Amino acid sequence: MKRLISKSLLIIVSCCFSVFVTVADFSFSNFTNSSIAFSSEQSESDSTYILELSIKGVDTNKVLLESTGQQLVVLITNGNTVNGAIAGGQVIRYTYSFASDAKLKQRVRKNFKDGIKITIPKR
């Protein structure tokens, strides 16, 4: 009897989920948002670390950079914000770790049409 109830409950939940997914797909079918293409390349010279980000599908001015310790966090979203929180769209979050001689707080950022170049001086 328990097994029959379990199977029946599973079928009901599965059917409800399928209906919900179908309704959600229909509700958001007219929602257009470009996808994000992202890649990065790291290099260094005797005096600097260089991080080059290639970003398509989002305005590079909206890319957030935060440093925590010896890590640089890159946050990319093509959604909107509501009361400071990300609402909808895609979110990409990458964390880059640097050696202890990197001066992350003194980084220099240059935005381009499809990318960002970040130069980080060494101590």
How many structural domains does the chain have? 2
Q: Are residues 86 and 109 in the same domain?
A: yes
Q: Are residues 61 and 42 in the same domain?
A: yes
What does the buried/exposed string (b/e) look like for 64-87 if buried means 16 or more CB atoms within 10 Å of the residue's CB? Answer: ebebeeeebebebbbeeeeeeeee
CATH number for the domain including 51? 2.60.40.790
Domain that holds residue 10: 1-31
The yes-or-no verdict on residue 23 having pLDDT over 80 is no
Question: For residue 81, what are its two tokens?
Answer: 């914000």
Phi, psi dihedrals of residue 69, rounded to the nearest 5°: 60, -125
Region of residue 57 (left: phi > 0; alpha: psi -120 to 50; beta: else): left
Find how far residue 5's CA is from the centre of its chain: 42
Question: Which pLDDT does position 4 carry in this prediction?
Answer: 46
Q: Are residues 106 and 50 in the same domain?
A: yes
The yes-or-no verdict on residue 21 having pLDDT over 90 is no
Instruction: Please give the Cα distance from 111 to 18 (Å, whole number).
Output: 44
Q: Are residues 62 and 115 in the same domain?
A: yes
Question: Which pLDDT does position 89 carry in this prediction?
Answer: 76
Q: Are residues 110 and 74 in the same domain?
A: yes
Q: Are residues 23 and 73 in the same domain?
A: no
Q: What is the mean pLDDT of residues 3-22?
A: 42
Tens digit of pLDDT for each residue in 70-105?
A: 999 999 888 776 676 667 778 889 999 999 999 999
Q: Are residues 41 and 27 in the same domain?
A: no
Could you give the percent of the chain with pLDDT greater than 90? 50
Radius of gyration in angstroms for the set of CA atoms belonging to the chain, rounded to a whole number? 22
Tens digit of pLDDT for each residue in 26-75?
A: 334 334 456 888 899 999 999 999 999 999 988 898 899 999 999 999 99
